[in-house]
Amino acid sequence: MPIADARADDDAVAPSRVTIADVAARAGVSKGLVSFALNGRAGVSTETRDRILACADELGWTPSLRARSLSIDRSFALGLVIGRSPDVIAADPFFHAFIAGVESEFSTAGQVLVLAAVTPGRQEAVTYRGLASDRRVDGVILSDLRAGDERPALVAELGLAAVTLGRPDTDTPFPAVTIDDGAGIRTAVEHLVELGHRRIAHVAGPATMLHGHRRAEAFRAAMADAGLDGASVIETDFSANAGAEATRRLLDVSTGRRPTAIVYSNDHMALAGLAVAGRAGIPVPADLSITGFDNTELAEYVFPSLTSVATDAAAWGAVAARTLLASIAGEEPDDVELDPPRLVVRESTAVSPN
């Protein structure tokens, strides 16, 4: 349950006006001992601590966030700054699931999530400095790592705790929560090769983002391992609009023989590509196979249903949140490697037409 310091005393109240004094009276101990028990401090026997916690639970006591913040110099707020346009964040189901996972941990720990969408660069740095000023947040989750990313060093300089999504390509003092997304792309390519496809293209994310770069490199390596040309890669900003435009370019026969399969770097772009192919009169999967990445909820319900690399965005968010909370609590958590992604085969892939 959320905790409060003894100095918060009667300011730490729930809507029912239950106070630390009420808990102390019910348990037959002092207010100070109640505070020690609720904060998990030493000096309280296991039997007494259990009795105090049970009494607090019976009375429905919850702490005042304001009192907690003032008493122990904590904001009880944690930040997630995403360097993408608000439109992309709003439309991409990955972010919804990831944030839901983060919130599932923060809310039960009495933490508030501060979310900001910014333009990478100077505006981003200003945002982090603003969050650190006056302790508006106690820590941050660093997402969409970039080559030579300066944010870990900035956040360390600002004295904030942090966890990175993926391992940076520079040394940082922060724990990382990672997944081998390159393995997911390789699995998709291998599946298509087994179906007889030889002309396979990749609609990638930004090369400046480490995970976008890793997925593109994994695609090229998997194609090379199969003895195929992996040069057909189009870089995008991960948006549906960019995915649709990349698909139009790939399906334009005036530029050469079109691919028989396209591996997309997220489901958002794959679904846009599915629509573009349909409007162009190219049946999926009879003439074109399509794979996505993230296995978002819509992948199962579109027609044809989308073959996609499955990652658990909500679990990723929950693990990142727990790791960050452990760091703030003074622990030194290790890096966490999530389960490898797996390919969920559905109706959008089939034997190559030629």
Is 214 in the same domain as 128? Answer: no
Is 139 in the same domain as 245? Answer: no
125 inside domain: yes
Going from the C-alpha of 343 to that of each of 17, 101, 193, 223, the distances in angstroms are 52, 22, 14, 17
CATH at 213: 3.40.50.2300
Which of 211, 204, 248, 208 lies closest to 230 in space, CA to CA?
Answer: 204
Could you give the CA distance from residue 27 to residue 53 in angstroms, rounded to a whole number? 9
Query: Among the three residues 72, 101, 126, which one is the final residue of a domain in this structure?
Result: 72
Is 105 in the same domain as 156? Answer: yes
Could you give the CA distance from residue 124 to residue 130 in angstroms, rounded to a whole number? 10
94 inside domain: yes
34 inside domain: yes
Give the HSE-up count for residue 155: Cα atoms under 13 Å, Cβ half-sphere: 27
Using DSSP, state whether 262 is helix, strand or coil: strand
Could you give the CA distance from residue 137 to residue 139 in angstroms, rounded to a whole number? 6
Which of 348, 251, 351, 352 lies closest to 308 in space, CA to CA?
Answer: 348
Instruction: For the chain, 354 residues long, give each residue's pLDDT as a single digit of tens.
Output: 333 333 333 343 334 457 778 888 999 988 777 777 776 665 678 888 888 888 888 888 766 544 454 444 566 789 999 988 788 788 888 899 999 999 999 988 888 999 988 887 778 899 999 999 878 899 999 999 999 999 999 999 999 999 999 999 988 999 999 999 999 999 999 999 999 999 999 999 999 999 999 999 999 999 999 999 999 999 999 999 999 999 999 999 877 789 999 999 999 999 999 999 999 999 999 999 999 999 999 999 999 999 999 999 999 999 999 999 999 888 899 999 999 999 999 999 999 998
Q: Could you tell me the residue range of the domain that residue 19 belongs to?
A: 6-72
Structural domain tally of the chain?
3
Which of 128, 116, 135 lies closest to 77 in space, CA to CA?
Answer: 135
Is 218 in the same domain as 324? Answer: no
Which pair of structure tokens corresponds to residue 220? Answer: 């090229």
